[in-house]
Each structure stands twice: as structure tokens, then as C-alpha cells.
């Protein structure tokens, strides 16, 4: 997936509905990273709990596995969030530039 997910759309074809969809995508991306962090925190807390209360056995080994796994989930979630956020912001910035640029056929001085 080397290309930008929104490259297939021409900038002239985007309308208000599409801009709102971009906003919804941005919010969904934020909810997704929070879900990753919630899962990571759960894994870390479960691992620390197993390590604290279990003296020996399989659950202690699982505790040793859960802590780094939770950290890895948090890093993975953050990396995916940043990659998707960068793509969304590129589209949003291009929309802002297009709206700020004067149209070619519009007469000057009209509001």
C-alpha cells in the first residue's frame, strides 16, 4: 500500500459531503488509536498483575509475555494512527488550499 488512499479522487470532485466524510474518518482514526491504547493498557496491567500475585507457573510466564506484548500493541497502534493521520491531513490541506485559491472565471470585487 504505497499510494495515498485518496489519490483516486480528483480535487475538483470533492464536495461538502466528502469533506464531512474526511472529518468522520479523522474521528474514527482517533477512536481506533484509543482502542489500541486501551488494549495495550489491559495487557500491561494483566501482565503486571500476574507477575505480582503469582509465584511460579504458567501464569507467571504469561505475565512476562503480556507486558512487552502490551507495549508492542501501543507502538503498533500509534504507528498506524500517525500513518493514517498524515494521509487524512494531506487531503484536508489540499481542500483548504483549493478553497483559499480564487477561482479563474470569477469576476474580481464580487462577494
pLDDT tens digit string along 49-71? 988 887 888 888 888 899 999 99
Against a cut of 0.75, is the pTM above it? no
Is residue 91 within 8 A of residue 26, CB to CB? The reply is no
Contacts of residue 56, defined as CB under 8 A and 6 or more positions apart, other chains included, come to none
Tell me, what's the pLDDT at 110?
46
pLDDT at 89 over 90: no
pLDDT (average), residues 96-107: 60
Amino acid at each position: 500500500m504505497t499510494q495515498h488512499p485518496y489519490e483516486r479522487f480528483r480535487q475538483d470532485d470533492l464536495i461538502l459531503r466528502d469533506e464531512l466524510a474526511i472529518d468522520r474518518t479523522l474521528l474514527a482514526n482517533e477512536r481506533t488509536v484509543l482502542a489500541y491504547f486501551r488494549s495495550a493498557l489491559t495487557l500491561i496491567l494483566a501482565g503486571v498483575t500476574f507477575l505480582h500475585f503469582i509465584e511460579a507457573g504458567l501464569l507467571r510466564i504469561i505475565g512476562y509475555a503480556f507486558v512487552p506484548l502490551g507495549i508492542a500493541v501501543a507502538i503498533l497502534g500509534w504507528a498506524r494512527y500517525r500513518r493514517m493521520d498524515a494521509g487524512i491531513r494531506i487531503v484536508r490541506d489540499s481542500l483548504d488550499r483549493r478553497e483559499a485559491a480564487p477561482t479563474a472565471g470569477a469576476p474580481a470585487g464580487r462577494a
